[in-house]
C-alpha cells in the first residue's frame, strides 16, 4: 500500500502545481517502497536527496506563480517554504552523517509535513491564483 494517495481534496486548483504535488507524493512512496523492501540504506540517500531537490524546485515554481498573480500572502508563504526546506535538509544531513536511518517515524513526519502544507497553506492561494488567470 502506498504511503500517500492523491485525491481531489489535495487539489489547489492549478494544474501544474497539482502535478508537482503528485510527483512529491510519488517520491515519498518510493522511499516507503524502499523501506518495505529492506532496501532502505542503499536507496534512501539518493531518494532523500531527490525529495529535497524536487521540493526546492517546486517551491520556486509555486512562488513564481504567486508572484505573477501578485498574491498578497506570498512573503508569508515564502517564510513557510524556507522553514520546510530547512527541516528536510536537516534530515538529509543527519541521514548522510549516519545519525538516523529511514524508518516509519521519518516517513510519517515527511508525509505530515507535505500533507499539512498543501492542505493548510497551499490551499489558501488557489482561489486568488484562479481569479488572476492562473489555472
Binding positions for Fe ion, rule: CB under 5 A? 62, 122
Of residues 30 and 122, the one with the C-beta less far from Fe ion? 122
Q: What is the helix (H) or strand (E) element at residue 13, kind and residue range?
A: none
Give the 3-state secondary structure of residue 67: helix
Q: How many C-beta atoms surround the C-beta of residue 72 within 10 A?
A: 11
In whole angstroms, how close is the CB of 1 to Fe ion at the nearest point? 24
Report, in Å, the least distance between residue 134 CB and Fe ion: 13
Nearer to Fe ion, 94 or 123 (CB): 123
Distance of closest approach, residue 35 Cβ to Fe ion, in angstroms:
24
| Nearest residue to Fe ion, scored by beta-carbon proximity | 122
Nearer to Fe ion (CB atom), residue 59 or residue 95: 59
Nearest distance from C-beta of residue 25 to Fe ion, angstroms? 11
Rounded to 10 degrees, the C-alpha dihedral 120/117/81/86 comes to 140
Neighbour-count burial of 80, counting CB atoms closer than 10 A to its CB (0-12 exposed, 13-18 middle, 19+ buried):
middle
Amino acid at each position: 500500500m502506498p504511503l500517500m494517495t492523491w485525491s481531489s481534496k489535495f487539489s489547489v486548483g492549478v494544474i501544474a502545481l497539482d502535478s508537482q504535488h503528485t510527483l512529491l507524493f510519488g517520491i515519498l512512496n518510493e522511499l516507503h517502497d524502499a523501506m518495505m523492501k529492506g532496501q532502505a540504506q542503499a536507496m534512501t540517500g539518493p531518494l532523500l536527496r531527490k525529495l529535497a531537490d524536487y521540493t526546492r524546485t517546486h517551491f520556486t515554481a509555486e512562488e513564481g506563480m504567486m508572484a505573477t498573480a501578485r498574491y498578497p500572502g506570498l512573503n508569508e508563504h515564502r517564510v513557510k517554504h524556507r522553514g520546510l526546506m530547512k527541516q528536510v535538509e536537516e534530515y538529509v544531513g543527519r541521514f548522510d552523517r549516519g545519525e538516523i536511518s529511514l524508518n516509519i517515524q521519518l516517513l510519517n513526519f515527511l508525509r505530515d509535513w507535505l500533507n499539512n502544507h498543501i492542505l493548510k497553506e497551499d490551499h489558501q492561494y488557489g482561489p486568488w491564483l484562479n481569479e488572476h488567470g492562473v489555472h
